[in-house]
Amino acid sequence: MATIFTRIINGELPGRFVWRDEIAVAFLSINPMQTGHTLVVPVAEVDHWLDLDPDTVAHLNRVAQQIGKAQMEAFSPARIGLMIAGLEVPHTHLHLVPMNGVHDLDFANAAADPDAEDMDAAAGAIRQALTNQGASGVSA
């Protein structure tokens, strides 16, 4: 059975995409810890990041870095946190979280019902920043 991320990637469930290429996608978390919290996910459904081939790991990190730079431009946080937890969905994903302190990486802070307009605005801000950077994988 396909994971929820595969269903989002395939368009069966909605997602606020900011990046898409043949290897990876990125979309906003439905329960963001902070505004702009983005997930970078391989298209291939692989549960544990240790099982990914090295080229895919490298690609995910390049995409994460590009999106992190866009998040810095869009939201001006102190840092962009990068975390691979992998317990909540059995499909590798990197959490990119704009942060001003380590407490911003606490899943207890995740919004249970974020405002749809705020989420759309955050996705738009990331896409615009990626476009400003000349990124090639910006999602429409």
Say how far apart CA 102 and CA 98 lie, in whole Å: 10
Q: Residue 97's domain is classified under what CATH number?
A: 3.30.428.10
Report, as an integer, the average pLDDT of 88-107. Answer: 95
> Do the domain assignments include residue 135?
no
pLDDT digits (tens, 9 = 90+) for 50-63: 999 999 999 999 99
Structural domain range at position 16? 4-78+87-129
End-to-end Cα spacing for the chain: 28
Please check whether residue 40 is in contact with residue 64, taking contact to mean a CB–CB distance below 8 angstroms.
yes
> Do the domain assignments include residue 35?
yes
> Do the domain assignments include residue 136?
no
Q: Per the structure, how many domains does the chain have?
A: 1
Predicted pLDDT at 88? 87
Predicted pLDDT at 34? 97
Predicted pLDDT at 25? 98
Taking the CA atoms of 117, 119, 122 and 126 in sequence, report the sign of the dihedral they define: negative
